[in-house]
Amino acid sequence: MGASAVAGSAGCGEEAGDPNAEKINFGYIGDWNGTSLLAVAQKQGLWAKHGLDASIKVFTNGPLQVQALQTGDLDYGYIGPGAFWLPASGQAKIIAINTIGAADRVIAQPGITSVAGLRGRKVGVPEGTSGDMILTLALQKAGLTNADVERVPLDASTLVSAFASKQIDAAGFWYPAIATIKKTIPDLVELAKNDDFTDTVAFPNAFVAGNAVPAARTAKVVAVLREANDYRATHRDAAIAATAELLKLKVEDVTADAANSRTLTTAELDAATKDGTIAKWLTGMGDYFVGAGKLPQQADPASYYLGDVYTGAA
């Protein structure tokens, strides 16, 4: 993974430079879901507490981070639900579920009133992301397939400008980037959202590790994520402020972004791991990915979700 895939990077301030700390490279996406636990860990000194020196790097999507995991440029990263087929196909390990997302939408230019109305139109989508996932699900629900629209693969930043300049008719995309588009096209139409599909599939996002990363190091990272998750659950305003500071965004913008996800406590994630709920989510997503042609066959969640590592770090 070359530097061109990385939008920027940040060290961890006073935690960097400890000669006894184990150095790790951690990727993230610059939004509430992808950043908040890392922002809390940095602000609360959790990396140093657990003997780690973390260098964090921002990426535009999950698939780029998985590529970086495979080349060794990253040790850990963050992926949205649309990229879960990558660990399911053996390309990474999920080490922690983060939140349940509700930020994804199929959006269209004013005048397009239904998903069925997308037939033959140009639809932008960041491939292998939750935008791809919400688009495919919405098309299926409307009795269409991806072959019925003119898919235009775009990265997130290019999609914003392409939609705003009306070079595409619709998109599978997400907040907070949609809020940026609304500044130019305030009357854009939202044709589908995550909540339309809760009966069939969940939209969890997660932290992942490279396959070659030592288990002992991952146990330390999971301990940080668990502690940061507990802090986020009980100090939401402080977590939002820390995220806004790291991303150099307004607190109100991060607050609005945070409203598009459901935060789970560490205790809830432990319970969901032990009672098979997370395995059920992953199996449901696996069915989707098989149907969408991303996976050749369903994979056992236990082969790529390190649930024992997560609960074992309690």
The tens digit of pLDDT for each residue in 276-294 reads 999 999 999 999 999 989 9
Q: What is the mean pLDDT of residues 158-181?
A: 96
Q: Considering only CA atoms, which of 39, 97, 19, 31 is closest in space to residue 301?
A: 97
pLDDT in the model for residue 13: 40
* Whole-number pLDDT of residue 15: 42
- Rounded mean pLDDT of 4-33? 70
Q: DSSP 3-state helix, strand, coil percentages of the chain (rounded to 5)?
A: 50, 20, 30
Overall average pLDDT of the 59-80 stretch: 96
Mean pLDDT across 272-279: 97
pLDDT in tens, 98-148: 999 999 999 999 999 999 999 999 999 999 889 999 999 999 999 999 999
Alpha helices in the chain, H assignment, sequence order? 32-43, 46-49, 62-71, 85-88, 130-141, 156-164, 177-182, 215-234, 236-247, 251-258, 266-274, 277-291, 307-312
Q: What is the DSSP string of 242-254?
A: HHHHHHT--HHHH
What is the predicted pLDDT for the residue at 17?
56
